[in-house]
A and B are shown apart, each in its own frame.
Chain A
Amino acid sequence: MRLTCPVCGDRDHREFTYKGDAVMLDRPAPDAGTDAWDSYLHLRDNPCGDTRDLWYHDPCGAWVVVERNTVTHAVTGTALASEAKR
């Protein structure tokens, strides 16, 4: 599998470390309550198809949001997490 690091370009996925669903970008407020935190940290849509997930490009230290398909492994887009967040 290959991913495009927005900083470094097209790279083999062995250069990346995976974090999981991009829902992790949306950290609830500390007082958001148990449901919100359970949903944030544990419960997953776990889509069989298109997904957005988070990868760390170890050589350059960029966190990348990847738009990807979990069945075909097709990658349709990547963006810096810091920008996706803003």
Chain B
Amino acid sequence: MRYSGLQVLKEGLFGQKGWKPVWRDPAPKSEYDIIIIGGGGHGLSTAYYLAKEHGLTNIAVLEKGYLGGGNVGRNTTIVRANYFLPGNSEFYSHSLKLWETLEQDLNYNVMHSQRGLINLFHSDGQRDAFVRRGNAMINQGDDAELLDRAGVRKHLPYLDFDNIRFPVYGGLLHRRGGTARHDAVAWGYARGADQRGVDLIQNCEVTGIDIENGKVRGVQTTRGAIRAKKVAIVTAGRSGQVAALAGMRLPIESHILQAFVTEGLKPVIDHVVSFGMGHFYISQSDKGGLVFGGDLDFYSSYASRGNLPMKEHVMDAAMTLMPIIGKAKVLRSWGGIMDMTPDGSPIIDKTDTEGLFVDCGWCYGGFKAVPGSGFSLAHLIATGNHHAPAARYRLDRFRTGYGIMDEEGKGSQHNLH
């Protein structure tokens, strides 16, 4: 069923009775060509692009809970392409291009809003680092503009320019950066994949991965064994556990990242804004809630919830940067489980087991990567070759030292990002 304004009007007249299920609930078949483990954003987009770009539809997406129940449904919804290291630069650039036509492609309004992203800097050194970043973005064909203090003031007059502990020197404006409605992204891809014949199977936990003679043969699940020629592990947040089913250890530690939303407020913050001297980034949702987040809680965890010190740090940063939001009230806070790699960049790769692929290590950057990751992983699964924009996301880069992508310059070992 095609969605349109006309359809909405028609259904309005007939009491909304005609809407069809957005996806089927098929029982798992005994065999598929391809099994995607994980029905989150990346898994669903992988299935969608396998079907759309490669014509492969004998595919099952196995989800242990509900579709979109992982990090795609619990993030701060920021979409951007402002990376600067080779590898990340071309990947996120490609992903953003997919975002820009996603609604029309999926026939689903994911409310991708290119409202502009401003990264603030607070010293000459930070400015030079952001200039390097901005120039890399333009070299890549994306957009970036350097704002001085007056320029920032024009866009964000509400910041505390006079009393802030770390004065605002300027900002890097990325006009094509913005936000999207996170759940809708998962649902849009799910609907698109389902319409193309992909079986989306919820409440189906993978409990084993069958490997014979170095080749993957299928999976064991809570709903029985399913054979498959190719299997992809797309379970960020649980990558280690699922990879362990195939006897693998990954360069990943799981960490908590909290996020926050306030009660609805009339529009006050029009951009996505990030603070440069503490961990705080914020935007205002179309419903009016201020949506913001900070840094990891900084201890390995699978608890999907955080503790007070990081909550307070985030509010502290908000108060020094933009004390106009002090009287906004936080309604809800939650935590996502982040696959943290040593260098802070992801992995899309084959494994030593033939037919087994991994897509993991998205750290805290997975949401904006949903289209690009699915597209590139689908390419790898379907063709056996790395998709150029994701060609550097190798599993062995830590071992060899080639192609380490440490955007933050904090290091290439755990717990520095």
Which range holds the interface residue count of chain B?
20 to 34
Q: Are B249 and A44 in contact (CB under 8 A)?
A: yes
Chain B residue with minimal CB distance to A71? B302
The reply to whether the CB of A29 lies closer than 8 angstroms to some CB of chain B is no
A1-B307, A20-B415 are contacts. A46–B252 as well, Cβ < 8 Å?
yes
Q: Which of B254, B399, B415 is A46 in contact with, Cβ under 8 Å? A: B254
Q: Are B415 and A19 in contact (CB under 8 A)?
A: yes
Chain B residues positioned under 8 Å from A12 (CB to CB)? 309
Q: Are A44 and B413 in contact (CB under 8 A)?
A: no
Q: Which of A19, A43, A48, A70 is B249 in contact with, Cβ under 8 Å? A: A43
Q: Which of B238, B249, B300, B398 is A20 in contact with, Cβ under 8 Å? A: B300
Chain A residue with minimal CB distance to B301? A70
A48-B241, A70-B254 are contacts. A42–B300 as well, Cβ < 8 Å?
no
Q: Are B252 and A44 in contact (CB under 8 A)?
A: yes
The reply to whether the CB of A39 lies closer than 8 angstroms to some CB of chain B is yes
How long is the Cα–Cα vector from A1 to B309 in the complex, in angstroms? 9
The reply to whether the CB of B66 lies closer than 8 angstroms to some CB of chain A is no
Interface flags, B246-269, vs A, CB<8A=1, else 0: 000111111000000000000000
When A and B form their complex, what is the total count of cross-chain residue pairs whose Cβ atoms lie within 8 Å?
75
A44-B253, A46-B252 are contacts. A13–B300 as well, Cβ < 8 Å?
no
Residues from 290 to 312 in B contacting A, C-beta threshold 8 Å: 298-303, 307-309
Q: Which of B302, B308, B342, B399 is A48 in contact with, Cβ under 8 Å? A: B302
Q: Are B301 and A21 in contact (CB under 8 A)?
A: no
The reply to whether the CB of A4 lies closer than 8 angstroms to some CB of chain B is no
Chain B residue with minimal CB distance to A1? B307
How long is the Cα–Cα vector from A42 to B342 in the complex, in angstroms? 7
Chain A residue with minimal CB distance to B415? A20
Interface flags, A8-45, vs B, CB<8A=1, else 0: 00001110011111000000000000100011011111
Q: Are A13 and B309 in contact (CB under 8 A)?
A: yes
Task: Looking at the assembled complex, report how far the CB atom of A86 sits from the nearest CB atom of chain B, in whole angstroms.
Answer: 24
The reply to whether the CB of B10 lies closer than 8 angstroms to some CB of chain A is no
Most chain B CB atoms below 10 A, which of A13, A38, A42, A46: A46
Q: Are A44 and B240 in contact (CB under 8 A)?
A: yes
Q: Are A45 and B300 in contact (CB under 8 A)?
A: no
Chain B residues positioned under 8 Å from A1 (CB to CB)? 299, 307
The reply to whether the CB of B414 lies closer than 8 angstroms to some CB of chain A is yes
How long is the Cα–Cα vector from A43 to B301 in the complex, in angstroms? 16
Chain A residues positioned under 8 Å from B302 (CB to CB)? 48, 70-71
How long is the Cα–Cα vector from A34 to B254 in the complex, in angstroms? 24
A19-B415, A21-B414 are contacts. A42–B399 as well, Cβ < 8 Å?
yes
Q: Which of A45, A46, A53 is B299 in contact with, Cβ under 8 Å? A: A53
CB-based closest 9 A-B pairs: A46-B240, A14-B309, A42-B251, A43-B249, A20-B415, A42-B398, A38-B399, A20-B414, A18-B298
Given pairs A42-B398, A71-B301, A71-B303, 14 additional interface contacts (CB within 8 A): A13-B307, A13-B309, A14-B309, A21-B253, A21-B414, A42-B414, A44-B253, A44-B414, A45-B249, A46-B252, A46-B300, A48-B302, A70-B254, A73-B303
Q: List 30 A-B contacts (CB under 8 A).
A: A1-B299, A12-B309, A13-B299, A13-B307, A13-B309, A18-B298, A18-B299, A18-B415, A20-B415, A38-B399, A41-B398, A41-B413, A41-B414, A42-B413, A42-B414, A43-B250, A43-B251, A44-B249, A44-B414, A45-B244, A46-B240, A46-B241, A46-B254, A48-B238, A48-B240, A48-B241, A48-B254, A53-B299, A70-B301, A71-B303
